[in-house]
Amino acid sequence: MISISPRAEAYFRKLVEQQGLPGLGIRMRAVHAGTARGECQLEFCEPGERAHGDHKIACEGFPLFVSADSTEALDGAEVDFVSSQVGGELTVRAPRLRPAAPAVDAGLAERVLHVIESEINPQLASHGGRVSLVEMTAGGEAVLRFGGGCHGCGMVDVTLRDGVERTLRSRVPQMSGVIDATDHSTGASPYYR
């Protein structure tokens, strides 16, 4: 079940009224659900655009639809709007949209992988890059493979030491280091040559 505050409902109603299209609604959908990149997307839903299986939530002055493939990821979501002097901010808190952090007693590989997926890869994505965990050595080193714009990039050593390793060591202090297992000579489209 999705909870929409009266402030958020009033905000949506105002947006819908400004469009001047009778029957216009709002659609919510989960994008990249179950991953660290998971987010909630909101869009207008014109009359007749409702997809089969969409869940309808009756709101005062407009319908709100939740895409059928997003109901599980958005279950328990709370939508709110907080006014400010510069307009306001709409927030959607959806606890099932992204994976939860590993438990305190989780294995080293699981904790390293979580940091890679939730913090490191979203930053590397701005350059078209990514990193994956190949394995954890018996000595606690993370063996990594770079891809995308990081594969063959001339700045990969800086990214590895000052970005990836520093972040991993600060979040997972039990890790002893990182090893780059990438053959950078085969990079097809490095960010920096």
Distance (Å, whole) CA 156 – CA 154: 6
How do 129-136 and 141-148 pair as beta strands? antiparallel
**117 pLDDT tier (thresholds 50, 70, 90):** confident
Say which DSSP state 50 is in.
P
Which ranges of 61-107 would DSSP assign to H, the alpha helix?
Answer: 71-74
Per the model's pLDDT, the better-predicted residue between 19 and 127 turns out to be: 19
Distance (Å, whole) CA 119 – CA 101: 12
The tens digit of pLDDT for each residue in 19-41 reads 999 999 999 999 988 877 789 99
Domains, the chain, ranges and CATH? 3-93 (2.60.300.12), 108-186 (3.30.300.130)
**184 pLDDT tier (thresholds 50, 70, 90):** confident
Report the SS3 class of residue 62.
strand
Distance (Å, whole) CA 11 – CA 80: 9
Instruction: Name the CA dihedral angle for 177, 183, 188, 192, rounded to a multiple of 10 degrees.
Output: 50
